[in-house]
Structure 1
Amino acid sequence: MEIFQKIGETAKGLSDKAKEVTKRSGEFLEATRLKFELSRLEKELENNFLSLGELVYRRYKGEEGLDGDIERLCESTRKIETDMLSIQEQINRLQPKPLVCPQCKIELPAGGKFCSYCGNQVASEKPAGES
């Protein structure tokens, strides 16, 4: 009877680990999708800046009636910047930055409390929502 209990506990442990792997792979895929979207927005932002520069130069040369186009491009650019910040925040939540030793600036492994290089104690911060 005891062997069946051990097998059950092992199976439960494996099931929990499988759920964690599935969750992490889903987070990785979502972060990759968000990075792709961020890249797309960066290109769109660059195109807006180029177009704005062209419109401002044409206005400088004396062409009239460009103020509406410039205003629309500025509003579009502001929205893109806001969207990019939101996406970057989502990426940071999915892939938090690792702890870095404040003394020697070496990246620490997850859950590290002391720097493996200099021995300095590092204050670990828990991610938001974790207790």
Structure 2
Amino acid sequence: MKACYLPLPHYLPQKHLSIPGLSFVSIKTYYRLGIAVEGKTCPVVIRFTRSDALRNVWRSKSKLKRSFAVLSEFLTKARQVLFQDTLRHIGMTNVWTLGSNIYIKTPNDSRVMVHTPEDLQILNKHHQKCVFELRFKCN
């Protein structure tokens, strides 16, 4: 076992993200967590110098679909639990986080922010049939 290390270009695959203005100047620090194990990758923590650079990277994460890279943000324990419950109820393709907020895409294509478990229950009751159709693709 050895410490995880890769040069920065492997952390943020610019060929997938194609973010204008993203450079080494935008990054304050970066490091990998854990120890390298055969066949597994280590997560990377990147801290940005400017919030607009972070926003640009975060908004570009949909370009990483079907690639090897995944972007995720650290949430507080309460938000992490709420996010996992939301994923369980709504499904992976219609739930995301942005700026530590949890969003849901409803069946009528509107975006709703979930703040509390009660918000999720209200949405679940209001859109129960629609949520089932969204999640399981039945009509």
TM-score by length of 2: 0.19
Which structure has more relative contact order (CA 8 Å, sep 6+)? It is 1
Higher strand share: 2
TM-score by length of 1: 0.20
When Rg is computed on C-alpha atoms for both structures, the one with the higher figure is 1
